[in-house]
Amino acid sequence: MAHSHNHSHSGGHSHGDGEGHVIPVKTFQKILFALLVLTVITVAAAKVDMGKWNIAGAMIIASIKASLVILVFMHGKYENKIIWTYILIPFILLGIMIGGVFTDDPFRDRIKHFAVAEQPK
């Protein structure tokens, strides 16, 4: 017995038998070019000493690249609000974790200095 199921999605888009999201090849070419340019910028930025801002610069560039991939290749651009909530929550948590590292890092040298100063001679 063959059963036919018709599932409808409230977001106005199809994930089943239909075409889904048809993205023009030109869009993929633009995204490819942007990702290649951002990769060159990443390599160039790695060669420049920006002090403690090296990590922040690399993370910003990587975030832009990840956003392009999520929006276009993973069709995130066409998803509804509840899916975007599930997409953004891990990024918010990651931001909190990275923020904790950035707030902790400046105090690392002081802790070493105090440990050395307290040792008896």
Q: Are 33 and 53 in a shared domain? A: yes
Q: Is residue 67 part of a domain?
A: yes
**What DSSP letter does each residue of 17-59 carry, written as one string?**
SS------HHHHHHHHHHHHHHHHHHHHHHTS--TTHHHHHHH
77-117 pLDDT tens trace:
888 889 888 888 988 998 899 888 877 766 666 655 555 55
Domain shared by 73 and 91, yes or no? no
Residue 32 domain-assigned (yes or no): yes
Number of domains observed in the structure of the chain: 2
Domain boundary among 61, 78, 95: 78
Domain that holds residue 32: 24-78
9-56: per-residue pLDDT in tens? Answer: 444 454 555 567 788 899 999 999 999 999 999 999 989 998 878 888
Give the number of other CB atoms < 10 A from CB of residue 34: 14
Residues 41 and 86 in one domain: no
